[in-house]
Amino acid sequence: MRIHKEGYLIILISFIALGILIPVIDLISMPSWLEYAFWVLLLVTFVFIIRFFRSPNRPVQIDESNIICPADGKIVAIEEVTEDEFIKEKMILVSVFMSPNNVHINWAPVSGNISYMKYHPGKFLVAWHPKSSTENERSTIVIKNAKGKQLLIRQIAGAMARRIVCYAREGADIRQGAEFGFIKFGSRVDLFLPLEYSIKVKLNQKVEGRKTIIATL
């Protein structure tokens, strides 16, 4: 299992903290069962942190007629909305909720040119809150594909997520399936698609980033 680069520092700090806390627990007078419980809790927490930053090796089948899922998680919304940040048209919104147990890498759903990128500071409402897409900390990118179709992807921080990482840069080209960001801990990714796309997922469906087909043209 590979570890994502965003986890290197956190895992190192956690390892050092583990090395400090275990001897400290030994010095504190407490029942043996409680001491063992603390050890188990520390080790489970460390394993969880390592697992959170896992980076799976998933081949991607390049097909520009398909929109691939940008994140692991569960589909929590499929609805027609008016996108009012950049494209300013009616679009199909597909939202993927990412629990702390999911892989938190984000991948490009299509190939194209990044015509817009903006970071928005904000609140940390729970990721499924209706206002989280407009009030939470978030990053927005727009990709224009070879056919001139524009797709908007929004990384949204949640109650636990306190740092959104976006590698996308306005004006740069990106390839379908390429990694464009990472969200630390629970969060959400919103995908806004042109109305002519046919949605291939359902509400509450579990999806895999870089693998599940969200829609087809």
* CA distance linking residue 157 with residue 165, whole number of Å: 10
Let me know if 133 is a catalytic residue. no
Reading the block at residue 215, the tokens are: 């829609």
Which residues have CB under 8 Å from 135's CB, separation 6+?
Answer: 122, 123, 125
Question: Which residue among 32, 111, 187, 198 is the active-site one?
Answer: 187
Query: Identity (one letter) of the amino acid at 163?
Result: R
* CA distance linking residue 177 with residue 101, whole number of Å: 21
* Residue 32 backbone phi and psi in degrees, to 5: -60, -40
Q: Among all residues, which ones are annotated catalytic? A: 187
